[in-house]
Amino acid sequence: MSLHDLYAEVKAVTAITKLCIVGQWSESLEENDKATLKVAMDDSELSSKDLFLLLRRAGGEFGLTAVREHRRGDCVCL
């Protein structure tokens, strides 16, 4: 594989990983579920632990810390 091809491959992967694991998972959701996720993330009455449990039941495969960091904006998502 040429250097050009390898560079293009790395750039493609890097573009995908500009999102944390929660952000990457959210990209797989349907539009109405993305909107619900935003509402849930912004819901101050829903604890991060309860949000984490909800997202795990919805198919998320990440930890509580990832949910907390994403929710606070402390992750790599822009």
> What's the pLDDT tens digit per position in 15-59?
656 889 999 999 999 999 999 999 999 999 999 999 999 999 999
Is residue 2 domain-resident?
A: no
Report the number of distinct structural domains present in the chain: 1
Q: Are 27 and 19 in contact (CB under 8 A)?
A: yes
Q: What pLDDT is attached to residue 5? A: 84
Is residue 11 domain-resident?
A: no
Grade residue 13 by pLDDT with cuts at 50, 70 and 90.
low
Is residue 70 domain-resident?
A: yes
Q: Are 22 and 70 in contact (CB under 8 A)?
A: yes
Is residue 57 domain-resident?
A: yes
- In the chain, count H helices and then E strands: 5, 0
Higher pLDDT, 78 or 58: 58
Q: What pLDDT is attached to residue 11? A: 73
Residue 69 sits in which domain range?
A: 20-78
Global pTM reads 0.76
